[in-house]
Structure 1
Amino acid sequence: MNNNFNLTYIPKRPDKPRESGTTMMMDKGLSLRQIEDLIESSGDFFDIAKFGFGTAFVTKDLEEKIKLYQSAGIRPYFGGTLFELFIARNKFDDYRKLIDKFGLDLCEVSDGSIIIPHEQKLVYISKLAKDRTV
């Protein structure tokens, strides 16, 4: 991986797919064209794309965006706010089906917008961690 400056003592990052040193970027509503440009300009530098703040709920062309990230070796996932939207409506199983529908192998469990008792949060994490990274 190249950088634009002659700086010394910068450790070499492993090539993708990386097991360590992974970098996440947040998609706060990028268009397909913006994602294409981002991947072209700096896709080698990040490994994970998070659809933050529940943006997946209103994102146009969500399936195409996910496929675009995946085709570039970038693992997309839905942020915790979307998880909380499902939990607040007692729709945990529907959330799992949604993740499976889009072929996502990462997910986030959070309680930033709603109160989830710690023990219940651990149950959600345990169930989701059986077949994906939480």
Structure 2
Amino acid sequence: MPDNPTLAAIEQRISTTREQLRNMERTYTPDFMAMDPTARTLRASLTELERQLTSTRLSSQQAAMADAEEQASGARATVERLRGQIANKRHEALPGASRRPRPRGKARPRGGGGGPGGGRQEKKSPLRGAGAA
């Protein structure tokens, strides 16, 4: 059952009209049904109701799409506004963000001083050690 009450009402009328036609078809021959004004009216009504149903569904879908697009646009605007607020808060919290000091940890020696060999390490040959003289 659709959420739209108009669609539900049209579908109910279609169902009722089809049931009336089926009841007549059980009683009368196809030739009689083709000439009977009531059967002809029911068939015409059924055709019109089906057209209304298609048209109403299309309108409902278009309205739902427009609503969804509007909500998406609003959500995008909210995201951009929040991103701007976050950027402002970061800027306020870290006024020198581009000149921030590095996190403090173990100090590493820089340059060539500090140990035997002037901070340079010898390259070890794979031959040294186990059997090289």
Fold in common (TM above 0.5): no
Question: What is the TM-score with the length of structure 2 in the denominator?
Answer: 0.21
Q: TM-score, length-normalised on structure 1?
A: 0.21
Larger-gyration structure (1/2): 2
